Amino acid sequence: MKTTSLLLAFSFYLSASAHADWLQFRGPNASAVSTEAKTPGDDLKVAWSADLPGRGLSAPIVVGDRVFVTCSSGPGQETLHVFCFNAADGSKRWERAMRTTGRTMTHNKTCVAANTPCSDGDQVFALFSSNDLFAFDLDGKLLWLRGLTYDYANASNSLGMSQSPVVVDGTLVVQSENDSESFAAGLDVATGRNKWKLERPKAANWSSATVWKNVVALQSSKGILAVEPATGKTVWDYSDGASTIPSSVGTGEALYAVSHGITALAPEKGAVTQLWRNEKLNPGTASPLVLGDSIYVVNGAGVLIKASVKNGDEAWKLRLKGPFSGSPVAAGKRIYIVNERGIFQVIDPEAPEGKVLKEIELKETVLTTPAISGGAIYVRSDAKLWKLQ
């Protein structure tokens, strides 16, 4: 009887955590759409806030009942922080502070803590613009670290780097794409050692990988290269150019590439078929998302555009309060985005012309993308982490 109870409790834990996790930049498969049944309500309020000691454009991630976030602090951003907070009340479970081993120069608008961490549910991987990479268990024990600048001395970008890692089936995929020693690598999550390494186009690149149909899609100015996570072997290659800031999104049978506006691609058996292209769907800094039968793009003027995923035809445009550096996320029938002035906006995309249902003024500069978990939304600034519920 005791064994049965334990098994039931364990099964419940696994089920609950699997539905609540937001493990990387833009959540499940980098789609920006929550997959859990419990969605945030429309009457969102600040449930709690926690102070942060330094800057960060990295987004929060959520593993079970823990929220992880990174920061950089110090006159030269030489101190790197990883925090773990309790999702229930915002209390700090642990903090780790490390020194950089790589370059810390960045544009004033960004910072060294610009890459969103990721997790496989057991470990948390934190990559920084300085090419410092750390693996912790969920209780904060350091498992391994790498100063990638020691191995690849010229891998740097004077404006700062922000490509967020992804983890797939035991392989951590990191990118350090820049004008000089540009590369992507697959690392063993247990040891941090390289499984594979690819030379990448020598050009500054801030877009992050998309996980879709068992491949990791690496985006650059040249296009999108899809590789096997475990080996780095090419699966397909789209070579008609792509954005170096907003990232593509894959869902269903198509990948919606940020390329000449939005280009819908259907890779199959090593080849890539272009389904449609709409150059007017031109994202600014924010990455697009797909919700139901529609794709949503925020252009450089802060206008949210809804279009059909079948043919790219526009349905409506809705001017939001911008500007935006972070990307929209979605859950249920709502889209959420926060502008650089800290105005969090809830959007009903099913209204005939789209409708902003609610705004929450966080009163701080926010340059990042929210996370969704357990019916709550997490947003961070340079000084605070908020839970909205």
Per-residue three-class SS string for the chain = CHHHHHHHHHHHHHHHHHHHCECCCCCHHHCCECCCCCCCCCCCCEEEEEECCCECCCCCEEECCEEEEEEEECCCCCEEEEEEEECCCCCEEEEEEEECCCCCCCCCCCCCCCCCCEECCCEEEEECCCCEEEEEECCCCEEEEEEHHHHCCCCCCCCCCCCCCEEECCEEEEEECCCCCCEEEEEECCCCCEEEEEECCCCCCCCCCEEECCEEEEEECCEEEEECCCCCCEEEEECCCCCCCCCCEEECCEEEEECCCEEEEEEECCEEEEEEEECCCCECCCCCEEECCEEEEEECCCEEEEEECCCCCEEEEEECCCCCCCCCEEECCEEEEECCCCEEEEEECCCCCCEEEEEEECCCCCCCCCEEECCEEEEECCCEEEEEC
Task: Determine, yes or no, domain membership for 243.
Answer: yes
pLDDT of residue 18: 45
Task: Determine, yes or no, domain membership for 296.
Answer: yes
How sure is the predictor about 237, in pLDDT bands with cuts at 50, 70 and 90? very high
Sequence length of the chain is 389
Q: Domain count for the chain, please give it.
A: 1
Q: For the chain, give the percent of residues with pLDDT over 70.
A: 95
**Phi, psi (deg, nearest 5) at residue 20:** -100, -10
Q: Quick check: 18 and 11 in contact, CB under 8 A?
A: no
CA distance 71 to 128: 9
CA distance 258 to 261: 6
pLDDT of residue 156: 85
pLDDT in tens, 354-378: 999 999 999 999 999 999 999 999 9
Residue 1 in this model has a pLDDT that exceeds 70: no
pLDDT in tens, 158-167: 898 889 999 9
**Phi, psi (deg, nearest 5) at residue 195:** -90, -35
Mean pLDDT across 70-79: 95
In which domain, by residue range, is 141 found? 28-388
Task: Determine, yes or no, domain membership for 77.
Answer: yes
Task: Determine, yes or no, domain membership for 125.
Answer: yes
Mean pLDDT across 290-309: 97
Q: What is the CATH classification number for the domain harbouring 139?
A: 2.130.10.10
CA distance 85 to 373: 14
pLDDT of residue 9: 44
How sure is the predictor about 179, in pLDDT bands with cuts at 50, 70 and 90? confident
pLDDT in tens, 87-121: 999 999 999 999 999 999 999 889 999 999 999 99
Task: Determine, yes or no, domain membership for 210.
Answer: yes
CA distance 74 to 133: 19
pLDDT of residue 252: 87
Task: Determine, yes or no, domain membership for 212.
Answer: yes
Q: Quick check: 227 and 215 in contact, CB under 8 A?
A: yes
Task: Determine, yes or no, domain membership for 21.
Answer: no
pLDDT of residue 6: 44
CA distance 238 to 255: 11
Task: Determine, yes or no, domain membership for 279.
Answer: yes
pLDDT of residue 4: 44
Nearest of 127, 133, 5, 117 to residue 66 by alpha carbon: 117
Nearest of 319, 290, 339 to residue 26 by alpha carbon: 290
